[in-house]
Homo-oligomer: A and B are copies of this chain.
Amino acid sequence: MHTQAKDDGGLFLDLPADAAAQFASLASRRALGDGELLYARNDPAEALYGLIRGRIRLSNVAPDGREVLMALFEPGDWIGELSLFDGLPRTHDAVAMGEAEVFVLPRPKLLALLDAEPRLYRHLAARLARQLRLALSYIDDAVFLPLALRLAKRLLQLAKVYGQDTPQGLLLDLHLPQEDLGRMLGASRQSVSKELRQWEKRGWIALDYGRVLIRDPAQLRHLLEQAGPAPRRAP
């Protein structure tokens, strides 16, 4: 669902080399300005996209302004496979954060290629499978874990993908405001801030604008382990 770039191991997943070439031959390009919509919720499924440059946010906005931030895409990620498969409309808005550029693989051409090379289905289905697993785990977490634990979990998850090792610890430099962190968790900015601050006071992390330095990942993991398996049960 999100942080797909490094999960895939490499650029545009592990397609066989020849298939990658075929994909490329179908593609045109499209440049996006800051805040530009790649597609909107309920748009028809016209193409599959491959992110070349920049960052794209996949989210859903309620009419009252609340927003669920479902995924962040980084260069190397595919975007929009779900609609590719079932032909149904988009489930989310896809918006460029800053300048970005994508490959555009029109659905009809892509389907034709897939029919010719059905083994490619396997690769794309594998992506769907990963996304489904992620979505399912989000649902579980939303029900089982209190905000603090969801936040810890997400931070560690993000760190696995975006974290850079530094002498002081794992640096998460993704220029993401706490408000967006909240939107990933279905939580308010204030609650996220409060929790992060608490951890900072304990020396587990250090905060900066749009940046988090995880000084002691083990403490966060410890939180999850002790509370996750047996959430609070005092007799």
Give chain A's interface residues, CB within 8 Å of chain B: 60, 62-64, 66, 68, 70, 82, 85-86, 88, 91-92, 115, 118-119, 121-122, 124-126, 128-133, 135-140, 142-144, 186, 229-233
CA distance A118 to B186 in the complex (A): 40
Kindly report how many copies of this chain are found in the complex they form together: 2
Contact A133 B63 (CB under 8 A): no
CA distance A130 to B87 in the complex (A): 11
**Chain B residues whose C-beta falls within 8 Å of the C-beta of A137 in the assembled complex:** 91
Partner of A128, one of B91, B129, B186: B129
Contact A129 B85 (CB under 8 A): yes
CA distance A144 to B66 in the complex (A): 8
CA distance A68 to B70 in the complex (A): 21
Provide 9 A-B residue pairs closer than 8 Å at the C-beta atoms, listed in order of the A residue. Answer: A63-B230, A66-B143, A68-B143, A82-B132, A86-B133, A91-B137, A128-B129, A142-B186, A143-B186
CA distance A167 to B144 in the complex (A): 41
**Chain B residues whose C-beta falls within 8 Å of the C-beta of A133 in the assembled complex:** 82, 86, 88, 91
Partner of A144, one of B62, B229, B230: B62
CA distance A233 to B63 in the complex (A): 10
CA distance A108 to B91 in the complex (A): 34
* Complex: chain B residue closest to A61, CB-CB: B144
**Chain B residues whose C-beta falls within 8 Å of the C-beta of A126 in the assembled complex:** 85-86
